[in-house]
């Protein structure tokens, strides 16, 4: 099952400040648990974790933070278009959403975000 571009655009829509606050809380509360579960299934986990650090960085532009929190909130949802529990394909929709978000904001993910990501992944 693949996720179409229109659905990805809907997921990545920044939304209201209430939407952004809700997404940020969701991401902060369950991000690292999801990372542990997804480590073997998402080949670019360093980018995912660097995106998290970019999203929580107050120096990151608000539009970038909104896009990243939208993508990361989708990533941490236990039930989405393709449930993450399905072995082999459970994270395919998450990967599509995350890649689209990375491509939109890649210039804002700085080397220090990647340094923190590598340190975090070494600890996991």
48-76 pLDDT, tens digit each: 999 999 999 999 999 999 999 999 998 88
What pLDDT is attached to residue 116? 98
How much is the pLDDT for 78?
65
- Kindly tell me if the per-residue pLDDT of 119 is higher than 60: yes
Distance CA 79, CA 100 (A): 20
Q: Give the number of other CB atoms < 10 A from CB of residue 117.
A: 22
17: buried, middle or exposed (CB in 10 Å: 19+, 13-18, 0-12)?
Answer: exposed
Q: Which of 79, 73, 85, 105 is nearest to 38 (CA)?
A: 85
| C-beta separation of 49 from 35 below 8 A | yes
What's the mean per-residue pLDDT of the chain?
85
């Amino acid at each position: 099952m693949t996720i179409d571009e229109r659905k990805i655009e809907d997921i990545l829509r920044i939304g209201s400040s209430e939407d952004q606050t809700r997404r940020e809380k969701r991401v902060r509360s369950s991000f690292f648990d999801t990372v542990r579960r997804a480590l073997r299934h998402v080949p670019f986990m360093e980018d995912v974790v660097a995106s998290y650090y970019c999203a929580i960085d107050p120096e990151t532009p608000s539009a970038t933070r909104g896009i990243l929190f939208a993508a990361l909130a989708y990533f941490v949802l236990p039930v989405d278009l393709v449930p993450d529990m399905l072995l082999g394909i459970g994270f395919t929709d998450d990967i599509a959403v995350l890649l689209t978000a990375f491509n939109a904001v890649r210039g804002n993910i700085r080397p220090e975000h990647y340094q923190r990501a590598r340190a975090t992944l070494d600890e996991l």
